[in-house]
Structure 1
């Protein structure tokens, strides 16, 4: 049985919207995009490269898939992370896409919970979720995530889409690892602990 691993950039107040560019996601009038860039150091780059190269598959929402599909097929294939991302299966959750042009991309059916269960059963390696905020809300809501690797950036944004939205059911997590980078980013790994519910 494979593990579903979420790898995300978040601000101190939990915002994960439009991390790399202003035009990535302006929904809700968000105009603070590109906020991770001043903090991306060699350690952050290495962590993201290792997470990608070590994955067995990617699980992506429609918006993130389209951004990636417009970039990674044309990137430097000598980079192991780029080569891995292009070669591995990419499972896409979308209600609007009908065709997927990126190599080894698979459009999931309407029953996302069943589809994710099938992927985890068929994939021994990790299936990694990057970005994909709307998809994440469904995954978190159905308690499908086995591990969160959160890169927490040292700034407060005050608004924007959050990883754990208002109304998210309580979850118990255990801190499995933590480290800091020269730019002040905390890289925290959390794993599920037993049954969902409030902490004691």
Structure 2
């Protein structure tokens, strides 16, 4: 299976707490819920389409706990996101969780990149990661993520956790496609392209 990453991100690279004010207040973050004003029909179609392509989901512990507190309560079988999240296999990367009550959930502990590499060998289409920035950083560094989907929102926060932190692993990306929504979100879809290349523009004679 391919491993895909979907992230909601601001213009200044913040990925923390997009969904609601109390989603992630770690580090004193007070600007949660910044993606809500931009969630139009175009946005919904993009996200729903990706959920329909997934045969399993991989989440970091914090994102898993947020999802597990919400989606099991959405019981409408016609809901395109809840129906898949509640029924398909879910894997949560954690060194601290010992039990996971959300149906069809398996805890990945120990050498998480190695366990994810094994999951990718199974038959199927995609294992989808949503959010889970710290997990995504480690898997990008290990070369395990096949596609990165950034939904860049037209807002600048000035503070918050970032997907690509300072001193992170250098990585080149190859742009696959782009799209825009009526609310101003820019979709950028990339595939990792190995180490960056460097050069210099010639000096004028």
TM-score per shorter chain, which class? over 0.9
Separation (CA, whole Å) in 2 of partners of 1:144 and 1:125: 15
Runs of 4+ in 1 over 4 A off after TM superposition: none
Q: Give the deviation of 1:11 after TM superposition.
A: 0.2
Q: Give the deviation of 1:98 after TM superposition.
A: 0.6
TM-score for both structures, normalised by structure 2: 0.92
**For residue 94 of structure 1, what is the aligned residue in structure 2?**
94
Rg larger in structure: 2
**For residue 163 of structure 2, what is the aligned residue in structure 1?**
163
Structure 1 position 31 matched with structure 2 position 27: no
Q: Give the deviation of 1:199 after TM superposition.
A: 5.2
Task: Spell out the pairing of 1:68-107 with structure 2 (5 A cutoff).
Answer: 68-75=67-74, 76-107=76-107
Q: Give the deviation of 1:28 after TM superposition.
A: 1.0
TM-score for both structures, normalised by structure 1: 0.94
**For residue 121 of structure 2, what is the aligned residue in structure 1?**
121
Separation (CA, whole Å) in 1 of partners of 2:91 and 2:198: 33
Structure 1 gaps, min length 5? none
Separation (CA, whole Å) in 1 of partners of 2:169 and 2:64: 27
Q: Give the deviation of 1:140 after TM superposition.
A: 2.1
CA deviation profile, 1:145-173 (whole Å, cap 9, x unmatched): 11101100001111100011111122111
Aligned length: 198
Structure 2 gaps, min length 5? 200-205
Match of 1:80, SS state, is coil
